[in-house]
Every structure is written in C-alpha cells, then in structure tokens.
Amino acid sequence: VLDASGKLVAPGFIDMHVHLREPGFEHKETIATGTRSAARGGFTTIACMPNTRPVIDTVDTVNYIKDKAETEGVVRVIPYGCITKNELGRELTDFAALKEAGVVGYTDDGVGVQSAQMMKDAMALAASLGMPIIAHCEDNTLVEGAAVTEGAFAKKHGLKGIPNESEAIHVGRDVLLAEATGVHYHVCHVSTEQSVRLIRHAKQFGIKVTAEVCPHHLVLSDEDIPGMDANWKMNPPLRTPRDVQAVIEGLEDGTIDMIVTDHAPHSEEEKEKGMQLAPFGILGFETAFPLLYSKFVVTGKWTLGFLVDRMTAKPADVFGLPYGTLHAGSAADITIVDLETEQEVLKEEIVSKSKNTPFIGWKLQGWPVTTIASGNIVWS
Ligand code: DOR
Ligand code: ZN
Ligand code: ZN
Ligand code: ZN
C-alpha cells in the first residue's frame, strides 16, 4: 500500500525532447540509466532524439531502441525518426517505414536541416502521412565557433556570441514552410524573444505550429553564468534576461505549449574540455519539476495546475499520447511529489550516468518521491 497523504498525486510527467545516447554513446548515458534518471524526475513517458550512432534513420534502429527500452528501461520510450539519412541533410529517410515502426515524428535536433528545399520536402511528406516535423532551429553559419549567446557574458569574456537570429531565422522559415505544406510543425526548445513573436504570429494565422521550452531557459539567463564552466553550455544557449522574460510570457499565454527538458548527458571528461571545446548540453530530468515548482509555483506566479498541465496533458494532447490514468484500460502512469521538503541538488544523488548540470548545490522543493510507470513502481 502506498501512502501519498500530504503529497501531490499527478499524472506521470511526459518529456517530448530527450537524448538517451544509446546506441553509440553509452559512455554518456544508456537506455537503462537514462530511463532511471527520468523516473527519478517523475517522468513516465519520454521521446528520444535520433542523434545516436547509428542515427535513428532505419526501422532496425527504431526496433533496437524499442527492444532495449522494454527489456532494460523503466519508463515508456518513444523514438523520433531522423529527417535525413545519417543526419547529413542530403536524403530523406523512409518516413512511411519509420511511422510503421512507431516513431512519433521526424526531427533534425542537434544539426538542423539547413536546406529550405529539403525541409519543405520533409514537411510535405510528413503532412501526407499525418505526422509532425519537430525542428531544432538554427542557421549554422551564424553559430559557428560560438559557445554562448550574444550578450553580457560573451562580451565580458571576449567570446563570439550565438545571435538570436540564428534561431529565429529558422523558426520564420519553417513556419512559412509549414503554412505551405500544411504539416504540424513543432518548434524545439524556444529560447528567444524573436522566436516567441514569430510563433505567436503564426498561431494567430491558424498555422499548425506548436512549441516547447526547457526549464533552464525559463530560470537562467546568460548573466547567471558564473565563469568559463561548460556545465552552463547548451544549445540553444542561455539567453539574455529579456529573452527569459519573453519565453516565460510565451508559455503563460499559450504561444509555447509545453515544457521539455532536452536532457543532454555528456561525460565529465567531455565537459572538462572547457566552455569553448566541450559539447553543448546539460542534464534535464532530475531537476525539471523541482526547479519550476520552486521558481514559479512557490512564489505564486503560476498555479500548480498550470505547471503540471504543461508537463502532462499538454504534450499528450499535442502528440496524441495517453497519460495518467484518464484512459480506460491503460496501466497507471503516476507521479507522487513531496511539495514541502527543501532539498539540495547533490551530485552523488544524480541517477544519470553523466553529471553535467549547473544546478548542483541549488536548494529546491517539489521533489518526486514515487514514480509509477505502466503500473510498476519505478522510483521510490
Ligand atoms: O544542448 C544540446 N545538446 N543541444 C542540442 O541541440 C543537442 C544536444 C545534444 O545532443 O547534446
Ligand atoms: Zn536541439
Ligand atoms: Zn530549423
Ligand atoms: Zn535536444
């Protein structure tokens, strides 16, 4: 018998943007360790990105991940298919076969489809199959050689900055291509004021666009970066305070539909290469809810219902997924959260195989204490 008295009982959290690293980068994370990290964070369904090796571009790789998730994972894992073969931007993958194999959409996260024609073809094909395109937005020519956003931190350290336009140019392009093709276009990890504006405008015109935002883009700006520490390096980068305000408002007014973590584990060795050379990305699962609960609910800015909705019902609606116990016949996906106890983020308690997070030492409340996925207790 589970005693949840005094606790929040919520539908299991859903995270539509995660990197599990398997196959190919098992030194960073595996499906076994990544799904346990998700369970600790209260997540019961996660959608994994295809920048693995091999890339998720064939039915075989989709099946490999599904099999692994069933035998070694503890939460539901839904793969995305890659838009182009081997992420090279040259040739579309077999969208119909990948759909048949069970992908939830097609994406280019981590690289970005640079050719507008290629993206238009991808969107037209996805639309014909009734499937979404999930696009990571960036013009690579504007990003090259930069590790942090254009802003106060870059200026102070004499670094080349990643400009906001690198993201917004693609959002604008892809909104127009979505309008032309009728596809459902889902915008990855919105981080700039300009992107929010473009998505808001697109929605007003009835273009089928949805969007996501990460906890770190809601709680941190580039002015919070303490120094040249690569645990503060991710893509999109931490933006200016003005951008942070804009993405918060975008989430609040419904322009941005859901919260995702972009859980992106990298080994300590890789992160020790420093701000300029280390790979982009930070952990997401284990601090997502406590961070947002502490920053926005404890302070009275959001209701608890708003936060839970953006991590459960909203992603489920947008991607047509079951959640919680609301669907008759489905086994329970439930997260029980202790909303009272304040606890420090401790490195030695991190369940992920990697430890790359800027939040070590933060005192937070709203910690998931029990996670039930498909009827099984997977975290307690
Ligand atoms: O920070 C990031 N990490 N951004 C991406 O687009 C890719 C991801 C990764 O795979 O590490
Ligand atoms: Zn991305
Ligand atoms: Zn794009
Ligand atoms: Zn990502």
113-161: pLDDT as tens digits: 999 999 999 999 999 999 999 998 789 999 999 999 999 999 999 999 9
Cβ atoms of residues 244 and 221 within 8 Å: yes
Span 87-91, average pLDDT: 92
pTM, two decimals, is 0.97
274: left (phi over 0), alpha (psi -120 to 50) or beta: left
- Mean pLDDT over the full length of the chain: 96
Residue 263, both tokens: 């859980």
Determine the 3-state secondary structure of 165 from DSSP: helix
Q: Tell me, in angstroms, the distance from the centre of ligand 1 to residue 354's CA.
A: 14
> Among the atoms of ligand 1, which is closest to the Cα of residue 282?
1
- For ligand 1, atom 3, the nearest C-alpha belongs to 281
> Among the atoms of ligand 1, which is closest to the Cα of residue 279?
11
Q: Which residues does ligand 1 sit against, CB inside 6 Å?
A: 19, 51, 109-110, 136, 234-235, 264, 279-281
DSSP secondary structure of 1-45: ----TTSEEEEPEEEEEE---TTT-TTT--HHHHHHHHHHTTEEE
Which pLDDT belongs to residue 137?
A: 78
Q: Could you tell me the CA-to-CA distances from 206 to 24, 176, 209 in Å, in that order?
A: 40, 12, 8
Residue 24, both tokens: 């190919």
How many angstroms separate the CA atoms of 363 and 368, rounded? 15
Cβ atoms of residues 178 and 208 within 8 Å: yes
